[in-house]
A and B are shown apart, each in its own frame.
Chain A
Amino acid sequence: MPTPILEVNGLKKYFDVRGGVFGRKVGEVKAVDDVSFTVNEGEILGIVGESGCGKSTTGKSILRLIDPTDGEIKFEDQNIADLSAEEMRKLRKDMQIIFQDPYASLNPRHTVEKIISEPLLVHSELNHEERKERIKELLEVVGLRAEHASRYPHQFSGGQRQRIGIARALANNPKLIICDEPVSALDVSVQSQILNLMEKLRNDFNLTYIFIAHDLSVVKHISDRVGVMYLGGMVELTNKDELYDNPMHPYTQALLSAVPVADPDNRPDRVILEGDVPSPSSPPSGCPFHTRCPMAMDICKEIKPEFREVRDQHFVACHLYD
Chain B
Amino acid sequence: MDEVVLELKDLHTHFFTDSGEIPAVDGVSLKLHKGEVVGIVGESGSGKSVTSLSIMHLIPKPPGKLVSGEILFKSEDISSASEKKMRKVRGNEIAMIFQEPMTSLDPLFTIGNQIIEGIRLHEKVSKKEAKARAIKMLELVGIPRADEVVDEFPHQLSGGMRQRVMIAMAMALNPEVLIADEPTTALDVTIQAQILDLMRSLNKEKETSILLITHDLGVVSEMCDRVVVMYSGQVVEEGTVREIIKDPQHPYTKGLIRSLPNLHKKEQSLYSIPGTVMRPKKDFVGCRFASRCEFAFDRCFQESPELYSLDNDRQSRCFLHDEGKGVEEFADTNIRS
Contact = CB atoms under 8 A, between A and B. Distances in A.
Are the chains A and B members of one assembly? yes
Interface of A: 50-51, 157-160, 187-193, 195-196, 199, 214, 216-218, 220-221, 241, 244, 254-267, 270, 272-273, 275-277
B221 interface: yes
B44 A192 contact: no
A189 B190 contact: no
A217 B263 contact: yes
B43 A270 contact: no
B197 A214 contact: no
Nearest to B144: A275
Given A196-B272, A244-B263, A272-B194, 11 more contacts: A50-B190, A51-B159, A51-B188, A187-B276, A257-B193, A258-B189, A262-B217, A262-B260, A272-B197, A275-B144, A276-B160
B259 interface: yes
Given A196-B269, A199-B269, A276-B161, A217 B262 contact: yes
Given A260-B219, A264-B246, A265-B242, A189 B259 contact: yes
B175 to A, nearest CB: 25
Nearest to A244: B263
Contacts of B273: 189, 192-193
Contact of B158 (A255, A273, A276): A276
A261 B276 contact: no
B307 interface: no
- 4 tightest Cβ-Cβ pairs between the two chains A and B: A260-B218, A221-B261, A50-B188, A192-B272
Nearest to A157: B276
B261 A258 contact: no
A264 B192 contact: no
Contact of B222 (A188, A190, A261): A261
B189 A255 contact: yes
A190 B267 CA distance: 18
Given A189-B273, A216-B189, A262 B218 contact: yes
Contact of A260 (B221, B242, B246, B267): B221
B109 interface: no
Given A187-B215, A217-B261, A272-B193, A261 B221 contact: yes
Nearest to A251: B190
A270 to B, nearest CB: 6
A197 B314 CA distance: 35
B260 A217 contact: yes
Contact of B259 (A188, A220, A256, A272): A188
B129 interface: no
B44 A262 contact: no
A193 B323 CA distance: 31
A255 B257 CA distance: 22
B89 interface: no
Contact of B261 (A220, A256, A266): A220
A212 to B, nearest CB: 14
A68 B158 CA distance: 27
Contacts, number: 127
A102 to B, nearest CB: 13
Contact of A159 (B257, B263, B276): B276
Given A254-B190, A260-B222, A266-B264, A191 B242 contact: no
Contacts of A270: 193, 197
A263 B245 contact: yes
Contact of B196 (A159, A196, A254, A260): A260
B256 interface: yes
A199 B272 CA distance: 13
Given A192-B271, A195-B270, A262 B220 contact: yes
Contact of B193 (A187, A192, A221, A258): A258
B255 interface: yes
Contact of B270 (A196, A260, A272): A196
Nearest to A292: B190
Interface in B164-204: 188-194, 196-197
27 contacts: A51-B188, A157-B276, A159-B276, A187-B215, A187-B276, A188-B217, A188-B259, A189-B43, A189-B276, A191-B259, A193-B273, A195-B261, A216-B189, A216-B263, A255-B189, A255-B190, A260-B219, A261-B264, A262-B218, A262-B220, A262-B260, A265-B242, A265-B246, A267-B222, A270-B193, A276-B161, A277-B158
Nearest to A53: B188
Contacts of B255: 189
Given A189-B259, A217-B260, A272-B197, A258 B272 contact: no
B220 A273 contact: no
Contacts of B306: none
A262 B190 contact: no
A187 B261 contact: no
Contact of B192 (A157, A160, A195, A260): A260
B251 to A, nearest CB: 12
B37 interface: no
Interface in B264-284: 264, 266-267, 269-274, 276-277
B76 interface: no
Interface string B35-77: 0000000011000000000000000000000000000000000
Given A199-B269, A262-B245, A263-B245, A50 B189 contact: yes
A157 B44 CA distance: 11
